[in-house]
Amino acid sequence: MKRKCDRCDREATVTEVLIKHGKKVERHLCEQCAAGEGIAVQSHVNVGDLLTNFIVQQSGAGEQKAAKGVTCSGCGTSFADFKQRGLLGCPECYASMEPQLGPLIERAHEGATHHVGKTPRRSGAAPDTRHRIAALRKQLQDAIDAEQYERAAALRDELRSAEAPAPAPSDDAAPRTRRPIGGDPQ
């Protein structure tokens, strides 16, 4: 069901959300009424243009000058080409342009730098457990490097308990009954 403009009978294509006195107030307006209210409306925005504008805004002037000379050794795509098109040329581009792309990817993904996807159940440990174990290993190595041996010992113990296999169900849990395959039971 399409909403109608709060000021006229046309279809509302703009939703303005305001917080007034601690309460959320929504207004639904058509493009003409929104323009009359002073709300800038940009219709049919290209995703590539949005990404390019985001990159340009987030990149500092010093980064832009330093990044102009960076090109991928695999396909020859430069960082300037990436900024213009919003597309990388090959997987090697990520490694070649990591100093420039890393902060952009972190900001775009709210601090995440690694893909976290689904894990097949048959793989053993749950994804959360595997990530926890990896994080504990990294913390343990950092503690050893910083010569914080008490912390390292505590992390080692926690890592051992996290890596310990789950106890197998005991045979007493479910009694088994055996039946002969053929013939009369004796």
Beta strands in the chain (DSSP E): 14-20, 23-29
* pLDDT more than 90, % of the chain: 6
Asked whether residue 100 is domain-assigned, the answer is yes
Between 31-45, 52-66, 119-133, 150-164, the lowest mean confidence (pLDDT) is in 52-66
Range of the domain at 138: 124-163
Q: How many domains does the chain have?
A: 3
82 pLDDT band, cuts 50/70/90, is confident
Which of 129, 159, 126 has the alpha carbon at shortest distance from 141? 159
Question: Are 87 and 52 contained in the same domain?
Answer: yes
* Within-domain flag for 181: no
Mean pLDDT value of segment 141-157: 91
The per-residue pLDDT for range 48-79, each reduced to its tens digit, is: 666 667 776 666 545 544 545 788 888 888 88
Could you tell me if residue 168 is inside a domain? no
Query: What DSSP character marks residue 109?
Result: T
Q: Which residues have a Cβ under 8 Å from the Cβ of 107 and sit 6 or more positions away?
A: 58
Q: Are residues 97 and 54 in the same domain?
A: yes
pTM comes to 0.30
The CB-side HSE value for 30 (13 A sphere, CA atoms) comes to: 11
79, part of any domain: yes
User: Is the predicted pLDDT of residue 170 greater than 60, yes or no?
Assistant: no
Look over the chain and give the mean of its residue pLDDT values, rounded to a whole number. Answer: 76
